[in-house]
Amino acid sequence: MKIILEQTGKRFNYDWIFRRVTATFNEGERYAILGPNGSGKSTLLQVISGHLHHNEGTISYSTPEKLLSPDQFFRHCAIAAPYLELVEEFTLAESLQFHLQFKQFIPAVKPKDAVGLVGLEKSMHKQIRYFSSGMKQRLKLALAIFSDVPVLLLDEPCTNLDAAGTSLYQQLITEYCGNRMVIVSSNDEQEYFMCPNRISIQDYKNA
């Protein structure tokens, strides 16, 4: 999988969030999008994911076999972010069943194993509405990290996690990301510890 941004920009009304981002994201590499709170790093990640449309430039997605349309890319990526909501009326078991209709887990991890790995095995039949914010974040990370896709997008992945949760996140990334592309939007080094490639959103504020 390869993602290429060419002179890509995003604005809301007349205000440009970033402009003329040119970057290539390659299979198996780790990338961090850095910047202070409110700088637009999450917006850039959403543009890369296809959740937001860009206003200038281009974004292309490709596998070794073919180019992908933006509408096809979602099948090849998984995302965990504070603004992506879980279905509160579902139980944990139902959340897993719903997710697996769209994306299967990596072969090494069965759904029951995934729940145990993030410490939620006692909550399988509890509705998500009764989860703490930390439990919800653990579930979001499990659904993203264990999905069998080549691209993993993480926006502030340790939001609402305590020290034990942050350590768990780092362990999951280390053990289960394999040769997948990982892009992290963050200003906390504990979240992007594994990313040698770093992009500062500030470089594209006055481009």
- Provide CATH code, domain 2-204: 3.40.50.300
Listing DSSP states for 9-28 in one string gives EEEETTEEEEEEEEEEEETT
Average pLDDT taken over every residue of the chain: 96
What is the residue extent of each domain of the chain?
2-204
Q: Which amino acid is at 199?
A: I
Q: What is the largest CA-CA distance in the chain?
A: 51
Q: 204 by DSSP, 3-state: which?
A: helix
pLDDT score for 64: 87
**Considering the chain, what percentage of its residues have pLDDT values greater than 70?**
99
Is the predicted pLDDT of residue 177 greater than 90, yes or no? yes
Cβ atoms of residues 58 and 6 within 8 Å: yes
Cβ atoms of residues 61 and 27 within 8 Å: no
pLDDT score for 207: 55
Check residue 175 and give left, alpha or beta (phi > 0: left; psi -120 to 50: alpha).
alpha
> What confidence tens digit (pLDDT) does each residue in 29-61 have?
999 999 999 999 999 999 999 999 999 999 999
pLDDT score for 205: 86
Instruction: List Cα–Cα distances, 207 to 47, 185, 193, in angstroms.
Output: 18, 20, 28
> What confidence tens digit (pLDDT) does each residue in 84-123 have?
999 999 999 999 999 999 999 999 999 999 999 999 999 9
